Chain A
Amino acid sequence: MVMRIGRVELRVMDMDRSIDFYTNVLGLEIVGRSKNQAYFKAWDEYDHHSLILTAADAPGLASFGLKVANNDELASLEKRVEQFGLPTKRVSKGERLGEGEYIRFELPTGHQCELYYDIERVGTKVGVLNPDPWPDNLSGIAPHRLDHIAITGEDVNHATRFFTDVLNFGQSEKIVAGENGELELASFLFAKNGGKPHDIAFVKGPNNMFNHVGFYVDSWEQVLRAADITTKNNVPSALTPQRHGITRGLTTYFFDPNGNCNEAFSHGYITYPDFPTITWTEDNFDTAMLYHYRKQPEAIVNGTV
């Protein structure tokens, strides 16, 4: 079983400005640095990191990792991925800070996907014994956790099939076109162990492109505050606070210093493996995505990298 999306690796062109942004504006904790990488975690996460920044000459998603329940699961998923026809590779411990061995493969949409169980646990500042509700000295938006990513690919149906059939994800919602609604324009997939409405969203578009990474904040007030913080810091906005039709989540979008789109995301229902998939038709695409705005924001559409 996959438990959740556990880590995201973004390419950054300006490491110093990016570290400043992810520390002081997004408000993650920097947990490690190597020559060309920086590692971060959100305050409510126990594992060593959930975000890796890797120096590059263009922005985008370098890879993302799904955390599985244990190493036996890892071995059996490795087999299933191979059987689906995707070649896998074992990457040994020590390639990155804090990480143990993991499995890497390329999705049919061209994105680099990892499966892992071993990662150092560093815990949270409030601890697990009689904890305070939140730690002191948080800065910036200070989300609870990495929540989800949205990426684009040419064949969304195929991506859905891989995630549901091979990785045993659930599909919470989809947007469909075609006479019988068979063509997926967007697909929202969740790890059944989790309960979030999505860990990964696919939107129909060019392969191997990155739309945004979502971080969880826990109220509408915090979404508004996130937008306040981005304006105060002169961060380019992609969309002011809104509601999604899909997930019913509350959202605001903005760009990191390299053009990687981030989202502060809140609410969204809890989903369970036995819930039916919610379907939106093509003519409701804009409402499904943004329930109030009801059009595609230029910045988010053009901001795919």
Chain B
Amino acid sequence: MAKYKITVKNYESAIYECREEQDLLGQAILARVPFSVACRSGGCGICKIKVIDGRYQRGICSKKTLPDEERENNYSLACKTYPKSDMVISVENIRR
């Protein structure tokens, strides 16, 4: 199984690894990268990311929290995003 390098731009040099069958949020939590988290089901939208670089596959996400225009602009919900290459992302809701 391919394993990819995920770089989180707005956390200083946070880099973690994620396989293509794993979601970006779950592995970030394991790596102690401080994402905001709630439903882990593509519903609440709290784990929103912007994909700056890289390819990915997306599972079912709420159209209310991730509307079409955001999808077109490469936003996604980390709990339903599965990498297909190394990725560079930024998180929308920085966790305090």
Show the binding face of A for B, using Cβ within 8 Å: 13-14, 57-60, 236, 238, 255-261, 298-305
Considering the complex of A and B, which 3 residue pairs feature the smallest CB-CB distances, nearest first? A259-B43, A259-B39, A58-B64
In angstroms, Cα B43 to Cα A260, docked, is 8
Question: A302, B65: Cβ atoms under 8 Å?
Answer: no
CA gap between A298 and B38 in the complex, in Å: 7
Question: Are B62 and A305 in contact (CB-based, < 8 A)?
Answer: yes
Give a binary string over B22-47; 1 marks a CB under 8 Å from any A CB, 0 the rest.
00000000000000111111111010
B60 touches A14 (CB 8 A): yes
Total number of residue pairs linking A and B with CB closer than 8 Å: 70
CA distance A247 to B41 in the complex (A): 29
Find out whether the CB atom of A259 lies under 8 angstroms from the CB atom of B63.
Answer: no
CB pair B65–A13 under 8 Å, yes or no, is no
Q: Is the CB of A255 within 8 A of B39?
A: yes
Q: How far is the CA of A260 from the CA of B40 in the complex (A)?
A: 11
Cβ contacts under 8 Å, A303 to chain B:
38-39, 43-44, 46
B43 touches A258 (CB 8 A): yes
Are the CB atoms of A58 and B63 closer together than 8 Å? yes
A258 touches B36 (CB 8 A): no
Q: A298-B36, A302-B36, A302-B46 are in contact. Are A255 and B41 (CB under 8 A)?
A: yes
- Of chain B, the residue at the smallest CB distance from A301 is B38
List the A side residues contacting B38 at CB < 8 Å. 238, 255, 259, 298-303
Inter-subunit contact B36/A59 (CB<8 Å)? no
Beta-carbon nearest neighbor of A300 in chain B: B38
Please measure, in the bound complex, the distance between the C-alpha atom of A300 and the C-alpha atom of B61, giving whole angstroms. Answer: 19
Q: Out of B36, B39, B46, B65, which one reaches A261, CB within 8 Å?
A: B39
Q: How far is the CA of A300 from the CA of B46 in the complex (A)?
A: 11
**Residues of A contacting B65 with CB < 8 Å?**
58, 305
A27 CA / B76 CA spacing, docked (Å) = 32
CA distance A260 to B62 in the complex (A): 11
- The answer to whether A236 and B39 have CB atoms under 8 Å apart is yes
Residues of B with C-beta under 8 A to A298: 36-38
A60–B38 Cα distance when bound, in Å, is: 14
Collect the chain B residues with CB atoms within 8 Å of residue A236's CB.
39-41
List chain B residues, Cβ under 8 A from A260.
Answer: 43
| A59 close to B43 (CB less than 8 A) | yes
